[in-house]
A and B are shown apart, each in its own frame.
Chain A
C-alpha cells in the first residue's frame, strides 16, 4: 500500500511535467494541425539556460530564491524568443506547403538546436544548481520532497493561468476562433499570424517552466534530454486527444502515473521476467491500446471523415 501511494506521488509529479510540455504541442497542433517536433528541444534549452543563469548568480552570492527566480525568468524569456523564431523561420514560410514539409523543417530545427546547445554547453551532463528547497515529508508511509510539491503546485497554477488566458481574454478567443477556422477567423478581424505566433510563444514559455522543473527534479541536464521528454509529452497530448487543452493535461498526468505504476509493478506482474527498465514502453503500449478503441484520444472530439 505504501508502494502504491509512493508510485502515485512519483507519477503525479512526472505527469505534471509531461502535461506542461504536452500543452505546448497541443496548442500548436490545435491551431495549425502541425507537430512541432522541435518543442522538446525548446524545453531542453530552458533547462540549460536556467543552469547557466542561476548557477552564475549563486556564484555571485545572491540568495537562492532570487537566483532561482532569475533563472526561471531568463529561461522563459529565451524560450519565448526561441518559439517565436522557430515559427518565423521554420513554419510560417511553409504554411501552404504540403503537409509533411513543415515536419521536415521541424526535424531540421531540432537537429540545429541540439547542436547549438552542444556547442554552447558541451557534451557532458551538467549539474542543476540547488535552487529548490531540500525538505522532505512523510505521509502515510510514503515520502515526498519539497521539490515534488513545488512541481505539482507550479504546474497546476500555470495550467490554471493558461485556461484563464484561453477562455477569458480576447487573445484566447482569437486563438479558439483560429483553431476552428483560420480563414473565417481572419475575416472576423483576427490577425491569424499573430495568433499563431502567440501559440508558439506561450507554448514555449510553458516548456521553459517545465524545463526548470525537470532540472530541479532530476538535478542533471544534458543537451539530448529534450528528445525523450518531448516524445513522451507528445504521446501524452495524443493520449488526451491532440488539440484539446484539458486532454493534454489529463493525458500528461495519466501517462506519468501509468509509467510510475508500470515501473513499480512490472516485475511482480511478469514474475520477474521484465524489469523496471521497460518503463519507457508503457507510454507507447497504453497509447496504442487507447487509440485502438478511441481513435481520437481520450478526450478528443470525434472528427467525422471529411470529403
Chain B
C-alpha cells in the first residue's frame, strides 16, 4: 500500500492517467480513424495479455489463440444481431462468450496439454483452423454462422439509451462513438492488467512459472501440473472470448476472415516481441505491432511521393514488407524482446556467459 502513496509513483500514475484521458481527443485531431486504431491497440493489449498468461506465464506455446477470440466474437454476433433476431444486452453476452471460450479452452486443453512444446503448438494451430473452417461453412444445411459473408448489423454496446456507436454531448463536450469505446476499453484493459499483476505473484502464478522453468521439478514439489496448465489455458481463453465480443460490437460485423492463423501469429508476435511474461513489455509489444502497420499505411505512399516524385512500389505490400523486416531485426538485436523482465534479462546474460 505504501508504494502507492510514494510521491514519485503517485505522480507517475497521475501522469499516465492524464495521458490516457487526453489520448482519444489528441488522436481525433488526425481523424476518427486514428481513434479507432488506438482502440484496436487497446483491444490487442487485452488479447496479448490473455495469451501472455498461456505463453508467458505458463510457457505453453499456443498458436491457435485467435479461435477463442472468434468464439467470443461469434457469440456476441449471433446473440445481438438480426441474424437470429436476438438482441441481448452486452453485459449478458460478454460473460456467455467468456464461459463458452473457456469451455472450448478446457475441451482442447484437457486431452492435449500432456503434449510437449512444439507438438502442443501444432495441435493448437490445427484447432484454430478447425474453428475457422467451421465458421466459414456452417451456413448449410442449417444457417448458423452465415458462412463466408459473416454476420452484419451487430448491435453496438449500449447501456439503456446510451449507445456507444453514436456521438453524444457529455458535459458540453462532444464525444464520438470510437471515443466512448476507447474509455470502455481502457477501463477493461486496466482491469485485465490488475488481474494479470495480481495473478503473476499469486500462488497460481508461481506455479505457472515453476512449470515453465521445469515441469518435472514442479510436479515433484507437489504442483498438480495438469490442472494448473488447464487453468492457464482456460483463463487465456476467457480473456480471448471477452475481447472477441467487444471486437464484434465495435465493428458491427464479423466474418471468418478476421480469425485466420496470421492473427494468432500476430498476437503471439506481440507477446514475444514485447517481452514474454513481462506485463509492461507485452503492452508495449501489442501497441507497437498494432500502430506500426497503420503508421506505415499512412506514411509509405506519401513518403515515396516526396522522395521519388511518384509512388514506385505498391504501398500495401511495402508496408507489410517493412513490418516483416522490423520483426526480424528487433528479434535479432533484442532476442528476449524489447522490454523483458529484469530476471529474464539476467538469466539470458548468464546463459550467454556460460556458452562463451
Please report A residues at the B interface, Cβ cutoff 8 Å: 29, 33, 35, 89-90, 93-94, 96-105, 107-112, 114-116, 118-119, 227, 231, 234-235, 238, 242, 272-275, 277-278, 280-281, 283-285, 287-288, 291-292, 295-297, 303, 305, 307
Minimum C-beta distance from B109 to chain A (A): 12
| Interface contact A104-B327, CB-CB below 8 Å | yes
Minimum C-beta distance from B310 to chain A (A): 16
In chain A, what residue has the closest Cβ to B56?
A: A100
Q: Bound complex: CA of A108 vs CA of B293, how far in Å?
A: 13
Please report B residues at the A interface, Cβ cutoff 8 Å: 55, 61, 111-112, 114-119, 121-123, 125-127, 129-130, 133-134, 136-137, 140-141, 214-217, 261, 265, 268-269, 272-273, 276, 313-314, 317-318, 320-321, 323-328, 331-332, 335-336, 348, 351-352, 355
Given contacts A115-B317, A242-B118, contact A280 B217 (CB under 8 A): no
Q: Bound complex: CA of A219 vs CA of B213, how far in Å?
A: 49
Of B121, B136, B137, which contacts A35 at CB under 8 A?
B121
Complex A-B, nearest 6 residue pairs according to Cβ-Cβ distance, in ascending order: A108-B327, A284-B126, A111-B324, A97-B335, A112-B324, A108-B328
Minimum C-beta distance from B264 to chain A (A): 11
Q: A238-B122, A295-B114 are in contact. List 11 more A-B contacts (CB 8 A).
A: A89-B328, A103-B272, A104-B269, A104-B272, A104-B273, A108-B327, A111-B321, A115-B324, A277-B133, A277-B137, A284-B126
Q: Bound complex: CA of A276 vs CA of B332, how far in Å?
A: 43
| Interface contact B328-A100, CB-CB below 8 Å | no
| Interface contact A235-B326, CB-CB below 8 Å | no
| Interface contact B335-A101, CB-CB below 8 Å | yes
Of A97, A104, A107, A284, which contacts B130 at CB under 8 A?
A284
Q: Can you name 13 A-B residue pairings with CB atoms under 8 Å?
A: A93-B332, A94-B332, A98-B335, A100-B272, A104-B331, A109-B328, A111-B321, A231-B261, A235-B122, A284-B126, A284-B130, A287-B123, A291-B115
| Interface contact B133-A278, CB-CB below 8 Å | yes
| Interface contact B335-A292, CB-CB below 8 Å | no
| Interface contact A283-B126, CB-CB below 8 Å | yes
Given contacts A108-B331, A295-B119, contact A275 B137 (CB under 8 A): yes
| Interface contact B141-A110, CB-CB below 8 Å | no
| Interface contact A231-B321, CB-CB below 8 Å | no
Given contacts A111-B324, A231-B129, A273-B141, contact A101 B331 (CB under 8 A): yes
| Interface contact A107-B269, CB-CB below 8 Å | yes
Residues of B with C-beta under 8 A to A103: 268, 272
| Interface contact A115-B126, CB-CB below 8 Å | no
| Interface contact A118-B314, CB-CB below 8 Å | yes
Minimum C-beta distance from A294 to chain B (A): 10
Q: Bound complex: CA of A115 vs CA of B319, how far in Å?
A: 9
Residues of B with C-beta under 8 A to A231: 125, 129, 261
Minimum C-beta distance from A306 to chain B (A): 8
Q: Bound complex: CA of A172 vs CA of B119, how far in Å?
A: 26
Given contacts A98-B335, A235-B122, contact A295 B116 (CB under 8 A): yes
Q: Bound complex: CA of A201 vs CA of B123, how far in Å?
A: 28
Of A110, A283, A284, which contacts B127 at CB under 8 A?
A284
Minimum C-beta distance from A254 to chain B (A): 15
In chain B, what residue has the closest Cβ to A306?
A: B216
| Interface contact B216-A307, CB-CB below 8 Å | yes
Q: Bound complex: CA of A35 vs CA of B118, how far in Å?
A: 8
| Interface contact B323-A305, CB-CB below 8 Å | no
| Interface contact B335-A119, CB-CB below 8 Å | no
| Interface contact A307-B126, CB-CB below 8 Å | no
Greatest chain B CB density within 10 A among A119, A278, A291 is at: A291
| Interface contact A111-B327, CB-CB below 8 Å | yes
| Interface contact A291-B328, CB-CB below 8 Å | no
Residues of A with C-beta under 8 A to B268: 100, 103-104
Residues of B with C-beta under 8 A to A105: 327-328, 331-332
Residues of A with C-beta under 8 A to B114: 295
Minimum C-beta distance from B327 to chain A (A): 3
| Interface contact A115-B321, CB-CB below 8 Å | yes
Q: Bound complex: CA of A303 vs CA of B332, how far in Å?
A: 31
Given contacts A98-B336, A103-B272, A108-B326, contact A285 B122 (CB under 8 A): no
Residues of A with C-beta under 8 A to B133: 277-278, 280-281
Q: Bound complex: CA of A66 vs CA of B321, how far in Å?
A: 35
Residues of A with C-beta under 8 A to B273: 104
Q: Bound complex: CA of A101 vs CA of B344, how far in Å?
A: 14
Given contacts A93-B332, A119-B313, A281-B129, contact A288 B327 (CB under 8 A): no
Q: Bound complex: CA of A114 vs CA of B136, how far in Å?
A: 24
In chain B, what residue has the closest Cβ to A242?
A: B118
Q: Bound complex: CA of A235 vs CA of B64, how far in Å?
A: 14
Given contacts A98-B336, A108-B327, contact A287 B122 (CB under 8 A): yes
Minimum C-beta distance from A150 to chain B (A): 30
| Interface contact A94-B324, CB-CB below 8 Å | no
Of B112, B134, B323, which contacts A288 at CB under 8 A?
B112
In chain A, what residue has the closest Cβ to B356?
A: A96
Residues of A with C-beta under 8 A to B130: 281, 284-285
Q: Bound complex: CA of A292 vs CA of B111, how far in Å?
A: 6
Given contacts A116-B321, A119-B317, contact A96 B351 (CB under 8 A): yes
| Interface contact A118-B119, CB-CB below 8 Å | no
Residues of B with C-beta under 8 A to A115: 317-318, 320-321, 324
Greatest chain A CB density within 10 A among B118, B261, B273, B355 is at: B118
In chain A, what residue has the closest Cβ to B220?
A: A307
Minimum C-beta distance from B147 to chain A (A): 10
Residues of B with C-beta under 8 A to A307: 214, 216-217
| Interface contact B265-A107, CB-CB below 8 Å | yes
| Interface contact B352-A295, CB-CB below 8 Å | no
Minimum C-beta distance from A184 to chain B (A): 15
Q: Bound complex: CA of A231 vs CA of B268, how far in Å?
A: 17
